[in-house]
Amino acid sequence: MKRLSALVTLLLLGGSPLAQTADPERARNLAATCANCHGTNGHAVAASGIDPLAGVDKRISLQKLRDFKSGQRPGTIMPQIAKGYSDEQLELIATYLAAQK
């Protein structure tokens, strides 16, 4: 019985990273945190002074996010926010927002 429990636990733990990456809504859910400042799906409110993120080339957004995370790019809140994401999550966010039109 203990072996069966250990096998089930191993399968569940081993499968969870696959389940996370297979989630088609994961990128959208991660990018939803950007909506507070940058608008829904990266469509910033006109004349707000906040950069829109929708449709921006993925490489540009990803580089900016990495620069915020590393501290190379100054900001008020973005360095702290970017540090809260893994590199994989930042890539998902940049990819998702680049696809928004």
Q: What pTM did the predictor assign? A: 0.75
- Taking the alpha carbons at both ends of the chain, their separation in whole angstroms is 54
- Domains for the chain: give ranges and CATH numbers: 24-99 (1.10.760.10)
The answer to whether 65 touches 82, Cβ cutoff 8 Å, is: yes
Helices 58-70 and 87-99 cross at an angle (nearest 10°) of 150
Q: Is 19 helix (H, G, I), strand (E, B) or coil?
A: helix
What CA–CA distance (Å, rounded) separates 73 from 4?
51
State which amino acid sits at residue 53.
Answer: L
pLDDT one-digit tens code per residue, 4-14: 444 444 444 45
pLDDT one-digit tens code per residue, 54-71: 999 999 999 999 999 999
